[in-house]
A and B are shown apart, each in its own frame.
Chain A
Amino acid sequence: EAQVTQNPRYLITVTGKKLTVTCSQNMNHEYMSWYRQDPGLGLRQIYYSMNVEATDKGDVPEGYKVSRKEKRNFPLILESPSPNQTSLYFCASSSQTGSTEAFFGQGTRLTVV
């Protein structure tokens, strides 16, 4: 089954404690992306990757890092989380960037206290 898998689904952490949200896809997609979803703001892109070792900033990259060492994996790293990073996070993958269907993970709800 084609899918994008994120872990964990829910996470509560404290300010400043480094965390990683994992994302894996089994569709051999080249393009992967991270979004955050906040009420009234829709989905905003954090980072994206066009392929292995090719990543770039989206609209709201501050406070986040990513890496793409393997095609299937695209982890999101918060080096020093802050309460304003409390949000719902989605990983997505697609075969191309703007012209094909994006497949989304089920989301990670992060709370930073």
Chain B
Amino acid sequence: AQSVTQPDIHITVSEGASLELRCNYSYGATPYLFWYVQSPGQGLQLLLKYFSGDTLVQGIKGFEAEFKRSQSSFNLRKPSVHWSDAAEYFCAVGGAGGYQKVTFGTGTKLQVIP
């Protein structure tokens, strides 16, 4: 069965500092990997997605993620965090062909301090 692990429930960073959110997945075939962001009171919005090609994926709002097959990881990074990045971040894994379920991680809540 597919699964996603986000080991950090809560992360606090200072504004301007770099950020890395961890995500490990388990999937039997070639995975589609996603990062979504949920701002307070809002639905989820896609930050970026990976299927194939360059293992470093660029997304919106200055985020990027790196796919490492050997480590089954898809960590999200940002070089310099802004106060507006405070939100909850979800990693998800899916697949292609027929019905493919998307499984979400439990989320990492990011707090940004001045």
Residues on A lying within 8 angstroms of B by beta carbon are 4, 35, 40-43, 45, 48, 50, 58, 90, 92, 96-99, 101-102, 104-107
Contacts and interface: CB of A to CB of B under 8 A. Distances in A.
A106 B51 CA distance: 27
Nearest to A42: B106
B44 A98 contact: no
Nearest 10 pairs of A and B residues by beta carbon? A98-B100, A98-B94, A104-B43, A42-B106, A99-B96, A43-B104, A104-B44, A98-B95, A101-B46, A99-B32
**Most chain A CB inside 10 Å of its own CB: which residue of B43, B98, B104:** B43
Contacts of A99: 32, 51, 94-96, 100
A49 B106 CA distance: 23
Given A40-B9, A104-B44, A98 B90 contact: no
Contacts of B107: 42
B26 interface: no
B46 A102 contact: yes
A98 B96 contact: yes
Main secondary structure of the interface of A (DSSP, over half): loop
Interface of B: 9, 32, 34, 36, 41-46, 49, 51, 90, 94-96, 98-102, 104-107
B90 A43 contact: yes
B42 A107 contact: yes
B6 to A, nearest CB: 8
Given A41-B106, A42-B104, 6 more contacts: A42-B90, A90-B43, A97-B100, A101-B34, A102-B44, A106-B41
Nearest to B9: A40
Contacts of A104: 36, 43-45
7 contacts: A42-B106, A90-B44, A92-B44, A98-B102, A99-B51, A105-B43, A107-B41
Nearest to B2: A98
Contacts of B102: 45, 97-98, 102
Nearest to A31: B99
